Chain A
Amino acid sequence: MNLKVEELSKAFNGKKAVDRISFSMDRPGVFGLIGTNGAGKTTTIRMILGIIEKDSGSAEWNGKPISRETMSFGYMPEERGIYTKTKVLSQLIYFGQLRGMSHGDAKRSALSWMERLGVSEYKDMLAEKVSKGNQQKIQLLATLIHDPVLVVLDEPFSGLDPVNTELIRKLIGELVDEGKYIVMSSHQMSTVEEFCENLVMLHNGQTILSGNLKQIKAGYGHTNLLVRTGRDVTPLAQECGLELLAKRADETEFKITGDEMAEMFLKRIIADGQYPVKYEIREPSLHEIFLEKAGVAK
């Protein structure tokens, strides 16, 4: 099974919302669509799923165009919406039936998923009576009730409290283990970094970066140095040509040109009679890469 998106484009009133985006997924996992608000993530998703007409390009699942009639996909939109005046179980059954399930199957699946996400106690309550976090879980259940192979999650963690965030994190991991293909959009880079092996980075509708996350980061090399010492080492760093990136309560982060610079700085600190508690050389975060790329794109 594979998902292949090629050269998808869409313009609104002459303005390009998405310009020739391409990516593919050849095995189960999480694919990341990242970018700021208005970057074109939701438009891309809507084009892939056939909710809106694309101007050009194609989105195929196993070589066939994707549509609600040709394949089983689940989609959780960014703008959450459920029937507030309807009982939770009733609307889950309704969504299941719309996706071709029988009433019995939809009910069984809904109850099973509710159990899994810990919302069984709300099954006979009106949706408006349950908390926002639980409403989000119900929305996710509506996405997964028919056991789709391709799952598209638009900003799945937005508005969730830490407990529910952890629950959804765990669930996404389980879905991948079950063989699901997940396309996840987010503007929270740390989230994408945690889940996605591959990604596309969008800015104003343009693809500014795409590929395997590890390879992207490796391409940047070791650029960051985290240091925790007893005394402030910033003056020493400046002497050695390191650029201060961030000064936090318990550590300081510098930009380095490579491992040699880090080695030289370590010798200088030790020569100064200090022994660092933490001395970590690392690749740039996705957030930093994005800022750099988006800055270039501007």
Chain B
Amino acid sequence: MATTARKSVLVVTRHAHQGSALGRSALDAALVSATFELPVTLLFQGQGVLQLLPEQDCTEAGIRNLRKVIESLPLYDITPIYVDAAAAARYALQAELLPPQAQLISLDRQRQLLADHDHILGF
């Protein structure tokens, strides 16, 4: 890999973990980027905030509960994670239900994140 400064990456995840595998793919891309020491930021928007619901039993649906993966993100230096406050409100996700490292942010702050990163991956 080039010796130039590491490019920063914003991973935007917009899909719930039920119905498609995109949420999982977004987390995989974030984790691998962090493993290769790229500075990674994760932003949950729209239905993507449903990945953050606590105590979900996904075994009957045959899918993975992503919340546990999300809670492990600080181990990879992906912290904090950012959550669109309006989407969280729409799905009645109160701040106390979110993972400890989650921060609810406004649309203006999200615009700032989009502008501040070298690359944006939109899932």
Do A and B come from the same complex?
Answer: no
